[in-house]
A and B are shown apart, each in its own frame.
Chain A
Amino acid sequence: MFKGLVKWARVKSPWILHMNCGSCNGCDIEILAALIPRLDVERFGVLLKGTPRHADVLVCTGPVTKQMKERLKRVYDQMPEPKFVVVVGQCGSSGGIYQGAYGVEGGIDTVIPVNAYIPGCPPRPDAIADGLIKLLASIDKGGKP
């Protein structure tokens, strides 16, 4: 019963941390647009937090540049367990148009484990919110997605 309560709480209260790993900023603007009053993700308990210590879901954008690789790892390690990673945009999923560029490492999943991908260049704000909700639903269904 206790486990059920904890899982319910986890699904109901995902606090997100937004991180730009080298994106063109298109995706980041769309993430901020997903947090506006119009979509009101606080309905689902989503709050934007500034520090990795408070966050449950890391929302990353963009291809991981060589400079950003260590920092992304560090931020990921600073988050307390259990943590989830959502990738927003084409670049983060695979490297996108930056694939093979000299300063670019590749998609986010070459550095840290990823739980959900939201494709698009950039994805619409409602698609981002929808991706987050789908992640929550899959956590609800069975542990780690």
Chain B
Amino acid sequence: MVCGKGVEGIDILLTLLYLFIFPGFLFLFAFSLFTEYLDRKIYARMQRRVGPPFLQPFADLVKLAAKEDVVPEKAEHFMFTAAPIIGLAAIFAAYLYLPIVSSTGLHSFNGDLVVVLYLLTIPTLALFLGGWYSGNVFGQKGGMRVASLLFSYEIPFFLALLTPALIEGSWKMADIVHFEISHPLEFIVSLLGFVIALIALQGKLERLPFDIPEAETEIVAGPLVEYSGRRLALFRLARDAEMVVGAGLLAVVFLAGPEPIVQLEPVYLSWIVGALVFLVKTLFVIFLLILMKSAVARIRTDQMISFAYKWLIPLALVQIFIAIMVRFLGGI
């Protein structure tokens, strides 16, 4: 539970507040839109452009939501509609497990790291299904690319994120965060893992240089070709939210998330400080992702797969070896 003590009624109220407003869904919604703004703005600034205005992502979202609702004749109506909702729901669910205000999230248990990793895979599958059932060749082609690239980044991503868990010896994010704050050296030991996870996350989000499934110069818009109106809006929102949650996950696992927690009275104040620390770390990770996007161009499918299997996975294994050695030799 979020709050250990207190009257039952207040407990429920706080939980609801946590779920829906801060740092729950409403906050994630706003933060995702802000992330998209940052993404586009910094990208534009790096090309010496002015870039979109602050409310641009919000305007895009409202406009798409208010457009005509088109389901192509050839598309499978049910899956076509369900795919974006499934993707978004999985991300929102993953978000709840992230420790944001304090070292435990809404609910913390042994293995929550693995649960979040799995939940973060679902949007990719949703994108594949959406593309596949849209009944358009470009959509199916894009869907196939999504599915065939899945393993090239998923394996290094999982391996890299397991390093801190191995060093600490626990699958619980709260424990990892605690351990990290008492052993700052851990960051240096898992630095390689952080870099690998960053690159793999870029692939997971299908951003440059790994935007092969989207490839607007080759296959128009990939799996999203037939999507329009509010379904497209949901997909876009899901992608932004995935970026926030992915960056937040890296911030938690490698950069110790909301810690160091300052114990303040009443407990709200320390929550706010924790959330601010978390935000700064997440924004740092997001900034790195944007820099990577602006600095590179798209690579081919085979290049990406060989890069992942020749470099990312071996390096991730090296990182795991280091982690095991460190643990074996008596820890940091």
Identify the A interface with B (CB < 8 A): 5-6, 8-10, 12-13, 37, 40, 42-43, 45, 49-51, 53-54, 56, 80-82
Q: How far, in whole Å, are A27 and B192 apart by their CA atoms in the complex?
A: 50
Choice from A9, A37, A45, A53 contacting B226 with Cβ under 8 Å = A53
Choice from A13, A40, A51, A53 contacting B60 with Cβ under 8 Å = A13
Name B70-97 residues within 8 Å CB distance of A.
Answer: 70
A71 CB to nearest B CB, Å? 16
A50 CB to nearest B CB, Å? 4
Closest to B216 in A: A50
Closest to A8 in B: B59
Could you say which residues of chain A place their CB within 8 Å of the CB of B228? 53-54, 80
Interface-located stretch among B40-48, B117-125, B156-164: B40-48
Could you say which residues of chain A place their CB within 8 Å of the CB of B50? 40, 42-43
Asked if residues B221 and A54 are in contact (CB atoms below 8 Å), the reply is yes
B62 at the A interface (CB under 8 A): yes
Asked if residues B63 and A9 are in contact (CB atoms below 8 Å), the reply is yes
Closest to A3 in B: B66
Could you say which residues of chain B place their CB within 8 Å of the CB of A45? 52-53, 56, 59-60
B113 at the A interface (CB under 8 A): no
* Residue with the highest number of chain A CB atoms closer than 10 Å, among B49, B60, B63, B66: B63
Q: How far, in whole Å, are A10 and B64 apart by their CA atoms in the complex?
A: 9
B225 at the A interface (CB under 8 A): yes
Give the interface size bracket for B toward A.
20 to 34
A interface, by DSSP: helix, strand, loop or mixed?
A: loop
Could you say which residues of chain B place their CB within 8 Å of the CB of A50? 216, 220-221
Which 9 A-B pairs have CB atoms at the shortest separation, nearest pair first?
A9-B62, A80-B68, A12-B59, A53-B228, A81-B68, A50-B220, A9-B63, A40-B49, A9-B59
Q: How far, in whole Å, are A120 and B32 apart by their CA atoms in the complex?
A: 42
Could you say which residues of chain A place their CB within 8 Å of the CB of B227? 53-54
B188 at the A interface (CB under 8 A): no
Q: How far, in whole Å, are A80 and B68 apart by their CA atoms in the complex?
A: 5
B51 at the A interface (CB under 8 A): yes
Choice from A40, A42, A49 contacting B221 with Cβ under 8 Å = A49
Identify the B interface with A (CB < 8 A): 40, 44, 47-53, 55-56, 58-63, 66-70, 138, 216, 220-221, 224-229, 232
Q: How far, in whole Å, are A40 and B53 apart by their CA atoms in the complex?
A: 12
B90 CB to nearest A CB, Å? 24
A134 CB to nearest B CB, Å? 19
Q: A40-B50, A50-B220 are in contact. Are A6 and B62 (CB under 8 A)?
A: yes
A43 CB to nearest B CB, Å? 5
Asked if residues B44 and A6 are in contact (CB atoms below 8 Å), the reply is no
Closest to B61 in A: A9
Asked if residues B51 and A80 are in contact (CB atoms below 8 Å), the reply is no
B96 CB to nearest A CB, Å? 29
Q: How far, in whole Å, are A63 and B55 apart by their CA atoms in the complex?
A: 38
Asked if residues B59 and A80 are in contact (CB atoms below 8 Å), the reply is no
Closest to B219 in A: A50
Asked if residues A54 and B59 are in contact (CB atoms below 8 Å), the reply is no
Q: How far, in whole Å, are A9 and B228 apart by their CA atoms in the complex?
A: 16
B141 CB to nearest A CB, Å? 13
Q: How far, in whole Å, are A68 and B142 apart by their CA atoms in the complex?
A: 27
Could you say which residues of chain B place their CB within 8 Å of the CB of A81? 67-68
Q: A50-B216, A53-B226, A54-B228 are in contact. Are A6 and B66 (CB under 8 A)?
A: yes
Could you say which residues of chain B place their CB within 8 Å of the CB of A51? 138, 220-221, 224-226
Closest to A36 in B: B49
Asked if residues B60 and A42 are in contact (CB atoms below 8 Å), the reply is no
Asked if residues A43 and B52 are in contact (CB atoms below 8 Å), the reply is yes
Asked if residues B70 and A80 are in contact (CB atoms below 8 Å), the reply is yes
